[in-house]
Amino acid sequence: MPGIKEIKISKLTFLILLITITVSCQKNESNSFIKIHALPNAVHEISGIAKLANDRLYAINDSGNDNTLFAISDEGKIVKKIKIKGAKNIDWEDLAYDQENNIYIGDFGNNYNDRKDLRIYKVSGVLSDSISVSKIEFVFEDQHKFPPKKKNFNFDVEAFIYLNGSLYLFTKNRSSKFTGTTKLYKLPALAGKHEAQLIGSYNTCDDPDDCFITGATINQSRNKIVLLTYNKLFVLSDFTQDNLFDSSIEKIKLNHYSQKEGICFKNDSTLYITDEKMKHKKAGLYEYRFDQ
C-alpha cells in the first residue's frame, strides 16, 4: 500500500501531466490560426480577397472607397493598384474568381435592404494587364419591397463564390429578430440583367455578434467551400447539387474575434483570412491551417 508521500507525488505528477496536455492542445489549436502580416493603410477597410494563378492576392475595400483592385504580395505589401474603369464602388463586399483567372467584384452590400442596383463586375485580363470589365446586374426573386419589413432584412450580401459557370451568393442576415439564417442564391456568371434564384438556407447560430456571414471561398479542387464570420468558419464538403447546404458542414471556432471579411484558399490545406483596421490595430493578414 503506498504511503502518504507516494500518493502526494503521484497526484502531483498527474496534475503536471494534465496541465502539459492541456497547454499542448491549446497551443496546437491557436497555431492553426496565426497572424502573418499587418496590412497597409490603403486597405484598412479590406472586404474581399482572392488568389490568382500568379500566387498574388487581390483585394478590395468596401463602401466609402474608390474603384481600386489591389495586388498584394505574400509579405502583405501592395505591389500594384488597378483602377476598374466604368465600375463604381457603392459597397464592394467580396471577390470571387474562376479557372480563367477572371475576378468577380461583388457590389452588393445592402445594409438597409433597399438597393435596386445590385451588381457584380466581371474583370478579365488581370494577369495580362489587358483589363476588360462587364457588368452582371441582378435582383432577388423573393424581394418585393425596398426595404422590406425589418423582420425580413435578409437581402444584404457580403459573400459569394464562382462554381461551374454560376455565382452563389450568401446573405448577411440583418433581421430585427436575428435567427442566424443565411440564404443561398444562384445566378449565371454572364453579363446582363438576371433574377437571383433562391436555392436554400442554413442557420449558422443565433449570436448576432458572431454569426453574420461576411466572406466565402472555394478551393481549387472545387470540393470544399468555407464561409467566414467574425470568429468562425463553416466548412462545406460533399456537395453535389445547387443547394450547397445539402452537404457535410463542419463548424470551426477561431477563438479570435475581429471584423474578418476577406477569405480565400492559399492551397487546399491553408486559408488566407483578413480583417479590417480597428482603432489603433492595423488590418491584418492571417493563415488558417486545416492540417493541425
* Cell triple for 9: 507525488
Weakest-pLDDT range from 16-25, 167-176, 185-194: 16-25
Average pLDDT, the chain: 91
Weakest-pLDDT range from 127-131, 194-198, 242-246: 127-131
Cα 156 from Cα 107, distance rounded (Å): 11
Put residue 101 in one of left, alpha, beta given phi > 0 → left and psi -120 to 50 → alpha.
Answer: left
What is the arrangement of strands in the sheet containing 232-237, beginning at the earlier edge strand?
215-218, 224-228, 232-237, 248-253
What is the arrangement of strands in the sheet containing 57-61, beginning at the earlier edge strand?
46-51, 57-61, 68-72, 78-83
pLDDT confidence tier of residue 292, bands split at 50, 70 and 90:
low
Averaged pLDDT, 19-33: 50
* Cell triple for 66: 474608390
pLDDT at 1: 45
pLDDT tens-digit series, residues 222-260: 999 999 999 999 999 999 999 999 999 999 999 999 999
Percentage of residues in the chain having pLDDT higher than 90: 86
For 51, half-sphere exposure in the C-beta direction (CA atoms, 13 angstrom radius) is 20
| 2 upstream amide cis, omega within 30 of 0 | no
CA dihedral 40, 46, 49, 55 (to 10 degrees): 0
Averaged pLDDT, 190-212: 95
Q: Is the pTM of this model over 0.85?
A: yes
Residue 154 has pLDDT above 90, yes or no: yes
- State phi, psi for 164 to the nearest 5 degrees: 55, 45
Residue 105 has pLDDT above 90, yes or no: yes
